[in-house]
Amino acid sequence: MTAPTIMPALFLSHGAPPLADDARWTRELALWSAALPRPENILMVSAHWEAAPIALSSTTGAPLLHDFWGFPRHYYEVTYAAPPAPELASRTAGLLSAAGLDVTRDESRGLDHGAYVPLREMYLDADVPVVQLSLPTLDPATLFAVGQHLAPLREEGTLIVGSGFTTHNLRWFNPAAGPDAAAPTPSVEFDHWAAEAMAAQDLDALIDFRHRAPAAQEAHPRIEHWSPLFVALGAASGSGGAGNLDSTSVIDGFWYGLSKRSWQLG
């Protein structure tokens, strides 16, 4: 039996339910997953689930969580029946517990749209087991440490995915302007800074982004959509920083003014 391939960690901008209608973005996500090694399973960390202590989603088949409002009915009829991942949930809980962190299970919690919306484009056949992990805090340094504790999963074939958005100010979202409308200056400035900081592997700047990034408050009035990045960075860095923070900006550009930049790490 061959050993699992060491998987990268990802941070992706996940889009709202209408992402499925954007042919360019869905193609980018599909091409990205096709270029990745086949994962044994997927651990998703979505901006849309904050719970402390750390919680793991259902391993018994809870339905999707359509956690959005005001969209046409067909978006609420979307299904994504990925296999549950009880072994991954147990292994994840074990790693975090060994690090002294409290972990709970929420068997009523299905995948939210930050998880299933991009996964439907990346793994359309829904044949890779998935479990979701909550954000126990929005503190970057703490989330980075959580990711470090999870780093061994990568060596076991687990794809760790932080799902958020590189800029996320819904005041900029103007459906009448269309998805390709010019992005606001603060969105462009933050996106450019983020691309440079990631390329330079400037972890100190990234963790202190609220003070160092231009337009940080405008790009992220609340930081939950940037927070999953730090779990992915920690998983790439590895326990004790033994890994590396090499990254590739796989997807870039803007969608209704929001930066959809996404990275592959490790």
DSSP for 54-84, please give it. EEE--SS-PPPB----S--GGGGG----PPP
Residue 174 pLDDT: 84
Model-level pTM?
Answer: 0.96
Residue 12, classed as helix, strand or coil, is: strand
Whether 129 has a pLDDT exceeding 70, the answer reads: yes
In a domain? residue 2: no
Whether 2 has a pLDDT exceeding 90, the answer reads: no
Task: Please tell me the total count of domains within the chain.
Answer: 1
In a domain? residue 223: yes
Instruction: Identify whether the C-beta of residue 140 lies closer than 8 Å to the C-beta of residue 207.
Output: yes
Instruction: Identify whether the C-beta of residue 258 lies closer than 8 Å to the C-beta of residue 226.
Output: no
- Give the mean pLDDT of 104-109: 97
Q: List all residues 6 or more positions away from 59 whose beta carbon is below 8 Å from its beta carbon.
A: 84, 85, 86, 89, 105, 107, 131
Which residue range is the domain that position 16 belongs to? 9-265
Residue 240 pLDDT: 67
Q: Give 256 or 72, the one with higher predicted confidence.
A: 256
pLDDT 10s digits, 175-194: 888 889 999 999 999 999 99
Residue 169 pLDDT: 96
Res. 16 pLDDT band, cuts 50 70 90: confident
Residue 241 pLDDT: 66
Strands 54-56 and 262-265: unpaired
Whole-Å CA distances, 238 to 30, 41, 144, 250, 265: 27, 19, 10, 21, 11
Residue 43 pLDDT: 98
In a domain? residue 4: no
In a domain? residue 3: no
Token pair of 197 as six digits: 């900081």
Q: For residue 45, give the amino acid letter.
A: V
Q: List all residues 6 or more positions away from 158 whose beta carbon is below 8 Å from its beta carbon.
A: 7, 39, 40, 41, 42, 43, 88
Which CATH number fits the domain that encloses residue 29? 3.40.830.10
- Give the mean pLDDT of 96-121: 97
Res. 69 pLDDT band, cuts 50 70 90: confident
Residue 96 pLDDT: 98
In a domain? residue 141: yes
Residue 1 pLDDT: 57
- Give the mean pLDDT of 34-52: 98
Whether 20 has a pLDDT exceeding 90, the answer reads: no
Residue 74 pLDDT: 86
